Structure 1
Amino acid sequence: MSRYAGFIALALLALAAFAYTAFKPSGTSTPSPAPQESTMLPPAAPSPARLPQGTGFDFYVLALSWSPTFCSLNPGGNNRDQCHASKDYGLVVHGLWPQFERGYPESCASDAPQRVPESIGRAMLDIMPSMGLIGHEWRKHGTCSGLGQVDYFSITRTAYEKVNAPPALSNAGQETRISPEALEKQFLDANRGLEPLGIAVTCEDGKFEEVQICMTKDLEFRTCPEVDRNSCRQRNITIPPQR
């Protein structure tokens, strides 16, 4: 019997090895290496484009003229671009004026051309309806902004688009009578952040002439007591209807 003992032990060993391999629990398998987490971050969102920054002044005054008043007070052929019977302008840009805390600069020395080329001016006619007005505003006020013509008129449009017209103007299908204070209140209600000391409603010949709104160089509303004093002192004014 002893002569077969070695063979029997070897056979039992082989059988045990086979059984372990065949019936090994799945949980004992060697785990695959865990994938390493990527260290790359998603691309950062682009930062908002900054407005062109003017220099040499403290803040802006955006002057928005009521075109029906201007045309009623300036009849004749000199303003056909704005006042022709086929035109129906409402609030238009009179100008974007660099301002000091007291007073303002005007007609400044500039390396930029004095004349505004049509390629720039024509693109502004929907909100500044006269090449003559565009050229005048550039020479008197734009040259004091520290900006080139393209940037100056670009920021003028941005400032214009920031202001919401109040109901008395957006629904001006017929002549309206209103107090300057009530019209100013409508502007305040329609434009969040605008304060009473940051706006002036002006008048001429008993009619609403324009609104002057003070803005920082980043076109945020701000106060400006000196400009606020330009406000109309009449008890009531009329708003000529928009065609």
Structure 2
Amino acid sequence: MLLLRPAPSRVFSVTGSVDAAASLPRLTLHHHSRIVNLCGIISSRPCCFSFSSFGIVRIAVEGMRALLKGTAAMPSIMLVALVAWSMICGLAVQAQDDFDFFYFVQQWPGSYCDTRRGCCFPLSSNPKAVFGIHGLWPNYDDGSWPDFCTKEPFNPKELADVVDQMDDDWGSLACPASDSHSFWTHEWTKHGTCSGLGQHGYFQSAIDLYGKHDITGALAKAGILPDGKHYQVDAIRHAISTVLDGHLPGIDCNKDGHGNRQLYQVYICVGKDGKTLIECPIFPRNECKGSVEFPVFDPHHHRLNSGGANDTGMRSDH
């Protein structure tokens, strides 16, 4: 079976076939494997293309078909195909910040900690009974997303002026306890490298958004409190929308150690500038409905129940 990595409607990652929706020629596995190998010789990057490169793709595919059939014009066709595939591979670099919007995701620490895996508090500070930052994630309007767009490593030296705020608002709850650097590294390498904001700009944007939109306070004002009671998801969404210029967020739930469904994460949609709130083009796939528990968060209790899981800091990273 041919392999095709999921990709947005405008950008396709070719690993075994061309998406039929693009109405492009398809090759057999035998032929295509040779094309992929050829492209790998030209460039170590994955071969990506957009609708704007349709003509280049057709030249490359048809040229390679002729090449594989052994036509008399094989040397010339091979040269054209090599150049075309090189151009296609080069487009991968241009598409690295090609996305439609951000999800700015915040999580409730109580819902993270009372799962079977438990939690560990960061070494820098104890978490507060407020929603904390999970991440700022580039997304496409169709629900897919880019990730790991460059190899630029996480560099804490670039964040010297914001690290204290990150400790307060963006700490890891993963076990074993850490200084949160592994969590931030994960968020940067998977999501930040696709943001087009640069490393400092990426983290600063998330911190600024967090400071401007107090969803914990909005819920409290509406009488929705972390008291272990159940609340309607629609009421939660509308309460949070009061600090989002009227925009409705997405709501994600998880299950506690007893299997009860609870309020876990809030998805806020933001424009590509990392600042402007927008209507969500699409809500998260795991969005919950109906009634959910808003669990109590007691730092002392949850610390005693810390688990031994070793992860990057959050468990519902798409």
Q: Identify the TM-score tier after normalising by the shorter chain.
A: 0.5 to 0.7
TM-score by length of structure 2 reads: 0.51
Q: CA RMSD in A?
A: 2.8
- Note the alpha carbon deviations across 1:175-234, whole angstroms, 9 max, x for none: 23101111111112333241x3xx21111121001110101124222123422654203x
The superposition leaves residues 69-90 of structure 1 with CA deviations (integer Å, 9 ceiling, x where unpaired) of: 11111545x62218x9x54342
The residue correspondences of 1:204-223 to structure 2 (distance < 5 A) are: 204-205=254-255, 206-218=261-273, 219-223=275-279
Rounded Cα–Cα distance in structure 2 between residues aligned with 1:181 and 1:163: 19
Q: Which runs of 5+ in 1 are unaligned?
A: 1-53
Shift of 1:171: 6.8
Partner of 1:64: helix, strand, or coil? Answer: strand
Distance in 2 separating the partners of 1:202 and 1:179: 13
Indicate the residue corresponding to 1:92 in structure 2.
132
Map of 1:156 onto structure 2: 206
Q: Does 1:108 align with 2:163?
A: no
Looking at structure 2, the residues matched to 232 and 173 of structure 1 have their Cα atoms a distance apart, in angstroms, of 17
Query: Higher mean Cα deviation, 181-190 or 117-126?
Result: 117-126
Listed one character per residue, the Cα deviations across residues 139-159 of structure 1 (whole Å, up to 9, x for unaligned) are 110111123221111111112
Aligned length: 182
Instruction: Give aligned-pair identity as a percent.
Output: 27
Partner of 2:219: 167
SS in 2 for 1:207: strand
Evaluate the alpha carbon distance shift between residue 68 and residue 212 of structure 1 in structure 2; reply closer, same or farther with a 3 A threshold: same
* 2:115 alignment partner in structure 1: 73
Q: Is the 8 A contact 1:174 1:240 kept in 2?
A: yes
Distance 1:240 1:56, change over 3 A: same
For residue 108 of structure 1, report the CA deviation from its aligned partner: 1.1
Match of 1:191 among 244, 247, 253: 244
Q: Deviations over 1:14-54 (max 9, x none)?
A: xxxxxxxxxxxxxxxxxxxxxxxxxxxxxxxxxxxxxxxx9
> Structure 1 residues 134, 89: closer, same or farther in 2, change over 3 A?
farther
Q: TM-score, normalised by structure 1?
A: 0.65
Q: RCO (CA 8 Å, sep 6+): is it higher in 1 or 2?
A: 1
Residues 190/224 of structure 1: CA separation in 2 closer, same or farther (3 Å cut): closer
Matched residue of 1:227: which SS?
coil
